[in-house]
Amino acid sequence: MQVRSASLTSENHKAISAAALKKRNWDESFEALVVYKEEFGHTNVSRSYHDHALGQWVGKQRRQQSKLTKKQRENLKSLGFDFVRVGTRSKDVWEDNFAMLAQYQEEHGDCMVDEDHELSAWVAEQRQSFLEERLPPKRAKSLESIGFQFYTDPSILDDIIIIVSSCHR
């Protein structure tokens, strides 16, 4: 009986250690979300954000919110965390990203986001879709309305101007 009791104590110790590690990881992820919100003004971490683990963690909080402790829910709510992500349909996601890009353009005077910016993958996808003629004209016009440049390689800009000019003669 004594050995069994020691064995349970050891198992309990392992379970407590695992729980502490899980708690510590949640706290660290929460702190990363605090930093993200300070930088971007919201808690909707983009899939293209360089810290993919943070985006996955945010999604997990939404999917498993019933498993969160009261304190965890309160901490997330204090940040203005959206437990139900607005913009989960592709149209809404596109519009959300467009709004963020428009805000970026207002603040920086252009749409040339850095490679480590949360919108960098989305911006690259818009350029690629345009080049492959997959970007709907309405979206292309929306992007053009905020000064979005579909062609950013200076070595091909002269060729494009010549081609466009010859098409309009």
pLDDT at 91 over 80: no
Neighbours of 122 (CB within 10 A): 20
Query: Which is nearest to 62 in space by CA: 39, 85, 45?
Result: 85
What the block records as the tokens of 1 is 């009986």
82 falls in which pLDDT band (50, 70, 90)? confident
Query: Using alpha carbons only, what angle is made at residue 85 by residues 139 and 81, rounded to the nearest 5 degrees?
Result: 125
- Look at the block and give the residue holding tokens 């081609």: 163
In eight-state DSSP terms, residue 66 is G
In eight-state DSSP terms, residue 65 is G
Distances (CA, A) of 25 to 32, 73, 111, 160: 11, 15, 35, 50
Distance CA 57, CA 30 (A): 9
Query: Which is nearest to 111 in space by CA: 70, 80, 151, 53?
Result: 151
- pLDDT for the residue 106: 93
Using CA atoms of 67, 71, 74, 76 in order, give the dihedral in degrees to the nearest 10. Answer: -70
84 falls in which pLDDT band (50, 70, 90)? confident
Segments making up each domain of the chain, as ranges: 2-78, 90-167
Distance CA 58, CA 36 (A): 11
User: What's the whole-model pTM score?
Assistant: 0.44
- pLDDT for the residue 21: 37
Distances (CA, A) of 154 to 20, 112, 124, 160, 161: 53, 14, 16, 10, 11
Distance CA 157, CA 4 (A): 76
- Taking only the tens place, the pLDDT of each residue in 107-163 is 999 999 988 888 888 898 899 889 888 899 999 999 999 999 998 776 655 554 555
